[in-house]
Chains A and B, each alone.
Chain A
Amino acid sequence: MSARTVGFVIAVLVVGALPWLLQAPYWRGILVLCAMNVLLAISLNLVLGYTGQLNLGQSAFFAIGAYVSTILVKTYAWNFWAASLAAVAAAGLLGLALAAFAVRLRGHYLAIASLGFAVITYQVLVNWEKVTEGVRGIYGVLPPVGSMVGLFYLVAGIALAVYVLIDNLVRSPVGDTLRAIREDEVSAASLGINGALWKAFAFGLGAAIAGLAGCFYPGFVGTLVPDAFNIIESFTMMAMVIVGGMGTMIGPVIGAIVLTFLPELLRDFGEFRLMVYGLALTLVVLFMPGGIVQAWRTLAGRQWHT
């Protein structure tokens, strides 16, 4: 049995056991949120970590998944799964549409363009009131499964499946292609790699995964308002990827887990909670620029040599 298979089996066992270790409905809710954040971190990591595209608009795709699925279910009485499929397709297609322009941009220019996309999406949600209800919001959204445990298993199961899918993808020649583009697009082009095509592929796939995460958000919270998808959400996703270790598969997962649970664990600090949270993030970025995964590898390497 390979190490990856062992890791996967352990992950399945941990996911299976978590709701029974954390039995309080509040912590089970945080588990669901964590599973959603894992999906979001994986989605952004594909774009940022593997393809090197500084995308600040991921919250927009999350929002598109949430709104398209909810509107189809609530207004047009679609089945949740059909609505989710349509929402994922919508997010993916919009990701591809944005990619058509984004692939020509790099670094800060891409960051500004993707930020602009997130702002436009937010404004559409606020102002297209006939469809989105604007700031009045959509209330009484039900989750696809009745219990919090069921919802966690569903979202965590999907997150695991997506993880395995992307893990296999980045280990395949496609992953090598994406990494080659990230390291040096000109050199990659000299090897016959169509950088624009593969960057669009990563952008579209990342957007679709973020849209998938968005499908579960409204049912979890029960309400849907545009403020849930403001630009801050994009930065939070980016923090998950950076803190965990971008460009690795497990890093963003760890980042998502840490940044979901840390604010909740710090609630006992009262009003100092956000200061402690901010300080912790700053320290991680200062002393572990490669994220938790790199720090772990460094420490493990030293241990090995001593």
Chain B
Amino acid sequence: MKRALWSFAIAAGFAAAPLAVQAQDKVIRVGVVMPISGPASYFGVMGKEGIDLALDQLKAGVNGYRLQVQYEDSACSPLQATNTVKRLLDQFKPHIVIGEECSDATLAIAPILEQAKVVQLNAGSVTMKLTESGYKYVFRIFPNAEQQSNPLAAVAYNTLKARTAVILYEKTNAGNDNADGFEKPFVAMGGKVLARIDFGRDVNDFTAIATRIASLGKIDVLPTFGLEGQQVRLSQALAQARIVKGGGGSAVQMGSIWLPYGYDQKAGQSSEGYVRIVQFDPTEKRKVVQDFIAAFRAKYGADKVPTHINAHAFDAILLVAEAVRRGATDSESIRDRFSKMKDVEVTTGKITFDAKGQNSDLSVVHFVETQKDLSWKGMNWR
């Protein structure tokens, strides 16, 4: 009897094995390559928050598929990102990779994923090269440098009636492309760029730069492109030098989607009058945005307001789920579903990928101005 029971158990085990394998197979593997260490680690930390929240909401699975995520630290470095992606491809065999945030690292992994025919979904890099290099497996929901800077130039010239500008930008691929994206249309419209001033990510004191700017004469706008920590110090230095409105000057500091919500509180009074474009706006009334904020607060604390980094990462997972909902089962079909997506609504707007893989729908991108009480005021500028 004992032997018979054992035989039955073994036979049942063998019979159940294919079912177990099949159940395990119904998985979409998502590799996440983000800077969890290094100077841009806040991208990775916030990105993980957004992704974890999205995964909580997709626990039941999509179309019978479970989303399995593996996070890897790429430290914003091309070498680390390259190694990380190779490791993911070897060991995790992802159907899609989300990342990186820093443009240099993003550009380093793009050809590797292209060769492996694995989709790369980017939600944080602005460099033009990413979607201008002919990659077939690259998709980006984040507005590229031109999409961010061209509206800034148009608003500066047409709405704010600015005729002179000083462009301040970090010396990176992203900063360069943003600076170019502002300068070309602004100059073409008749504006004059008095100076282009770049700075490394290691610069902490912007007093010298602010002093130089103060000597350049009347400046109407100061488009600035940099990470939050440096932008806070830059705004404070510009205010101290009485250049920008926040310090009693007349120049309007302008910025891009780079800055997370909450920047104004960190920069304090110096950020008054700061004009910038935003893609994710926590004050937006769309249901998807308010639902996201409620879920975010429920998970991470009632006093927390999600940033665009949280939102972009959250949206990236929602997009993968949407592709699976539309029948995607592997990398090739995810690519196919992405390329056909049109007006898919997420917290950062609507997603429609163009032929190059760039999200072309900027309908929710809008301008905000920092008020005296450091709150945002949405501006009806286009």
- Contacts from A to B (Cβ < 8 Å): 24-27, 29-30, 33, 126, 134-137, 139-140, 221-223, 225, 227-228, 264, 267, 270-271, 273-274
Question: Is B90 interfacial (CB 8 A cutoff)?
Answer: yes
Number of interface residues of B (CB under 8 A): 27
The 9 closest A-B pairs by CB, nearest first: A26-B90, A26-B86, A24-B90, A26-B87, A223-B108, A225-B104, A135-B172, A223-B78, A29-B86
In the complex, the chain B residue whose C-beta lies closest to that of A122 is B200
Complex: A25 Cα to B116 Cα, angstroms? 12
Which stretch (B69-77, B240-248, B298-306) binds chain A? B69-77
Question: Is B9 interfacial (CB 8 A cutoff)?
Answer: no
Min CB–CB distance B129 → chain A (angstroms): 7
Interface 1/0 per residue, B89-105 and A, CB below 8 Å: 11100000000000010
Instruction: Knowing A29-B83, A140-B111, A273-B73 are in contact, say whether A227-B104 is a contact too (CB < 8 A).
Output: yes
Q: B86 contacts A25, CB within 8 Å?
A: yes
Q: A267 contacts B176, CB within 8 Å?
A: no
Q: B72 contacts A135, CB within 8 Å?
A: no
Chain B contacts for A139, CB-based, 8 A: 107, 111, 129
Could you name 8 residue pairs across A and B whose Cβ atoms are closer than 8 Å? A26-B83, A135-B176, A137-B78, A223-B107, A225-B78, A227-B77, A264-B83, A273-B37
Chain A contacts for B36, CB-based, 8 A: 270-271
Chain A contacts for B82, CB-based, 8 A: 29, 221-222
Q: B77 contacts A271, CB within 8 Å?
A: no
Interface centre among A30, A140, A271, A274 (most CB of B within 10 A): A271
| Residues 49-83 of B contacting A (Cβ, < 8 Å) | 71-73, 77-79, 82-83
Q: B73 contacts A222, CB within 8 Å?
A: no
Q: A270 contacts B83, CB within 8 Å?
A: no
Q: B87 contacts A221, CB within 8 Å?
A: no
Min CB–CB distance A258 → chain B (angstroms): 17
Which single member of A221, A227, A270, A274 contacts B71 (CB below 8 Å)?
Answer: A270
Chain B contacts for A25, CB-based, 8 A: 86, 89-90
Complex: A25 Cα to B90 Cα, angstroms? 7
Instruction: Knowing A26-B91, A267-B72 are in contact, say whether A136-B83 is a contact too (CB < 8 A).
Output: no
Min CB–CB distance A265 → chain B (angstroms): 11
Min CB–CB distance B170 → chain A (angstroms): 9
Complex: A222 Cα to B107 Cα, angstroms? 10
Complex: A290 Cα to B107 Cα, angstroms? 41
Complex: A139 Cα to B130 Cα, angstroms? 11
Q: A274 contacts B89, CB within 8 Å?
A: no
Supplied contacts A223-B78, A228-B78, 15 more A-B pairs, CB within 8 Å: A26-B89, A26-B90, A27-B90, A33-B79, A135-B172, A136-B173, A137-B107, A221-B79, A223-B107, A223-B108, A227-B78, A264-B87, A267-B72, A267-B87, A270-B36
Q: B83 contacts A222, CB within 8 Å?
A: no
Instruction: Knowing A29-B83, A221-B108 are in contact, say whether A24-B172 is a contact too (CB < 8 A).
Output: no
Min CB–CB distance B45 → chain A (angstroms): 9
Which single member of B73, B91, B112, B200 contacts A271 (CB below 8 Å)?
Answer: B73
Q: A30 contacts B83, CB within 8 Å?
A: yes
Complex: A100 Cα to B129 Cα, angstroms? 42
Complex: A137 Cα to B176 Cα, angstroms? 12
Chain B contacts for A126, CB-based, 8 A: 171, 200
Interface centre among A27, A227, A267 (most CB of B within 10 A): A227
Which single member of B71, B111, B173 contacts A222 (CB below 8 Å)?
Answer: B111
Which single member of B79, B111, B129, B171 contacts A135 (CB below 8 Å)?
Answer: B171
Min CB–CB distance B17 → chain A (angstroms): 26
Chain B contacts for A267, CB-based, 8 A: 72-73, 87
Chain A contacts for B87, CB-based, 8 A: 26, 264, 267
Complex: A227 Cα to B81 Cα, angstroms? 13
Min CB–CB distance A285 → chain B (angstroms): 21
Instruction: Knowing A126-B171, A136-B176 are in contact, say whether A228-B83 is a contact too (CB < 8 A).
Output: no
Min CB–CB distance B72 → chain A (angstroms): 7
In the complex, the chain A residue whose C-beta lies closest to that of B177 is A136
Interface 1/0 per residue, B229-261 and A, CB below 8 Å: 000000000000000000000000000000000
Min CB–CB distance A242 → chain B (angstroms): 22
Complex: A273 Cα to B90 Cα, angstroms? 20
Complex: A225 Cα to B173 Cα, angstroms? 10
Chain A contacts for B72, CB-based, 8 A: 267
In the complex, the chain A residue whose C-beta lies closest to that of B78 is A223
In the complex, the chain B residue whose C-beta lies closest to that of A273 is B73
Complex: A221 Cα to B200 Cα, angstroms? 23
Chain B contacts for A140, CB-based, 8 A: 111
In the complex, the chain A residue whose C-beta lies closest to that of B45 is A271
Complex: A24 Cα to B83 Cα, angstroms? 12
In the complex, the chain B residue whose C-beta lies closest to that of A127 is B171
Min CB–CB distance A228 → chain B (angstroms): 6
Chain A contacts for B175, CB-based, 8 A: 135
Chain B contacts for A135, CB-based, 8 A: 104, 171-173, 175-176
Chain A contacts for B73, CB-based, 8 A: 267, 270-271, 273
Which single member of A27, A134, A222, A270 contacts B171 (CB below 8 Å)?
Answer: A134
Min CB–CB distance B159 → chain A (angstroms): 31
Instruction: Knowing A24-B90, A24-B91, A136-B173 are in contact, say whether A222-B108 is a contact too (CB < 8 A).
Output: yes
Complex: A26 Cα to B87 Cα, angstroms? 5
Q: A274 contacts B37, CB within 8 Å?
A: yes
Complex: A25 Cα to B200 Cα, angstroms? 35
Min CB–CB distance B46 → chain A (angstroms): 13
